[in-house]
A = this chain, B = another copy of it.
Amino acid sequence: MRKQIEIPDCSSCKARINSVFGELSEDELEYWHSTKGSNFYRKGQVIFYEGNYPSGLYCIHDGKVKLYKIGQEGKEQIIRLAKAGDILGYRALISGDEYIASASTLEDSRVCFIPKDTIFDLFKKNMDFSLYLVKLLSQDLEHVENRMVNLAQKPVRERLAEALLILKETYGMEKGNNTYINIALSREDLANIVGTATETVIRLLAEFKNEKLIATKGKKIEILNLNRLIKVCNISD
Contacts and interface: CB of A to CB of B under 8 A. Distances in A.
A95 interface: yes
Contact of A72 (B139, B146, B154): B154
Nearest to A90: B138
Interface in A171-223: 195
The number of times this chain is found in the oligomer is 2
A38 interface: no
A102 B171 CA distance: 32
Contact of A148 (B77, B138, B142, B236): B77
A75 interface: yes
B148 A141 contact: no
Contact of A97 (B79, B127, B138, B148): B138
A78 to B, nearest CB: 10
A153 B72 contact: yes
A137 B95 CA distance: 9
Looking at A77, A97, A153, which has the most chain B CB atoms within 10 Å of its CB? A153
B95 A135 contact: yes
Given A134-B94, A134-B134, A137-B134, A71 B149 contact: yes
Interface string A147-164: 111111110000000000
30 contacts: A69-B145, A69-B149, A71-B149, A71-B150, A71-B152, A71-B154, A71-B236, A77-B148, A77-B149, A77-B152, A79-B148, A79-B149, A91-B138, A91-B142, A92-B138, A94-B138, A95-B134, A95-B138, A97-B138, A100-B145, A124-B127, A134-B134, A134-B137, A137-B137, A141-B141, A144-B148, A147-B148, A148-B151, A151-B152, A151-B195
Interface of A: 69, 71-72, 75, 77, 79, 91-92, 94-95, 97, 100-101, 124, 127, 134-135, 137-142, 144-154, 195, 234, 236
